[in-house]
Amino acid sequence: MSGPDANVRIALFGESDNGKSHYGAQLLERIEAEKCEIKLRVAAADVSAFDEVRWRLGAGLLAEHTPSGVYQDVVLPVVDAGGRAMDLTWPDYAGEQVRQLIDSRAMKREWLDRTQAAHGWVLIVRPKLAEADDDIFSKPLAHVVRTPDGEATKPRRSIQARLVELLQILLHARGLHERGPVPPLVVLLSCWDELKLPEGTKPNDLLNEQLPLLASFVRSNWGARASVLGLSALGGELDMKQANESFIDRGPENSGFVVEADGRSNPDLTVPIVRLADMSGN
């Protein structure tokens, strides 16, 4: 993955409303403010993909969803604490594109290229959205039998069933390109603060408990090449209309945290990238 001046492409996968854009914006804030392990070697050429989200956060407000059809990359010329120079490519896009990929099982050329060229994959999952997730596996059979005629609705696929499907598509796409080991994977459990979990909760335990199908798929296909981390890009809830003064006073660059594998919280939002680099074995 590295070597001097390596280009490190991260493929980030996540459906809509999972926190991709707020994380990207906060990652940039941290890197520019030098409050993390990764530092810029020179100024980044174009970070406009996150301008709008950063502007909103600076005003203490949540940002809008990324408009459908949008796909943009920022390229960050960075160096990590070990002196490893990387040109980090980080994307932002509308999550419907991932939804379409799963539903159609068809991968457009650009997505195929991104999946195959990436040195590490990040899957961003918001556990809150999976609470009360009801599907063909969890719906009691008695309920199916008792549904009166004409009221039967097709069971939805649960979030974890969709994500396993997605990972299978990605593995297949990767396999068409090269037969080597799977790229390292970080599963990021986003909006961690909204879960109100006891201090010290380990992200992997939460994944096992709340998304057991996804957890076992990741374990059996990635083993030690996967890491499960928690993420709160903002450190708490914000509103679309009501500015949060204490968030403004603290500054976006001082807000948010990652939950490490051992359950400790770390304000360095670049930890997932550092873990991906470590797991690549270089």
Closest approach of Mg ion to the CB of residue 22, in Å: 8
Q: Which is nearer to ligand GTP, 1 or 231 (CB)?
A: 231
Q: Which residues contact 230 (CB under 8 A, 6 or more apart)?
A: 188, 189, 192, 201, 203, 206, 258, 259
What's the chain's length in residues?
282
Decide which of ligand GTP, Mg ion, none touches 127; Cβ closer than 5 to 8 Å per partner kind.
Answer: none
Say which DSSP state 48 is in.
G
Q: Which residues contact 52 (CB under 8 A, 6 or more apart)?
A: 63, 64
Q: Which is nearer to ligand GTP, 49 or 164 (CB)?
A: 49
H or E segment at 277? helix 271-279
Residue 202 near residue 238, CB atoms below 8 Å: no
Closest approach of Mg ion to the CB of residue 102, in Å: 17
Q: Which is nearer to ligand GTP, 86 or 118 (CB)?
A: 118
Q: Which is nearer to Mg ion, 184 or 252 (CB)?
A: 252
Q: Which residues contact 204 (CB under 8 A, 6 or more apart)?
A: 215, 228, 261
Residue 69 near residue 266, CB atoms below 8 Å: no
User: Closest CB to ligand GTP belongs to which residue?
Assistant: 95
Closest approach of ligand GTP to the CB of residue 282, in Å: 29
For helices 212-222 and 159-177, the axis angle rounded to 10 degrees is: 20
Q: Which is nearer to ligand GTP, 84 or 127 (CB)?
A: 127
Q: What is the distance between the alpha carbons of residues 123 and 137, in angstroms, rounded to a whole number?
A: 23
Decide which of Mg ion, ligand GTP, none touches 275; Cβ closer than 5 to 8 Å per partner kind.
Answer: none
Name the site residues for ligand GTP (rule: CB under 6 A): 14, 16-22, 62, 65-66, 94-95, 191, 193-194, 232-234, 236-237
Residue 18 tokens read as 């999972």
Name the site residues for Mg ion (rule: CB under 5 A): 20-21, 66
Closest approach of ligand GTP to the CB of residue 87, in Å: 23
Decide which of ligand GTP, Mg ion, none touches 191; Cβ closer than 5 to 8 Å per partner kind.
Answer: ligand GTP
Chain centre to alpha carbon of residue 16: 11
Decide which of ligand GTP, Mg ion, none touches 89; Cβ closer than 5 to 8 Å per partner kind.
Answer: none
Closest approach of ligand GTP to the CB of residue 35, in Å: 16
Closest approach of ligand GTP to the CB of residue 14, in Å: 5
Q: Which is nearer to ligand GTP, 10 or 86 (CB)?
A: 10
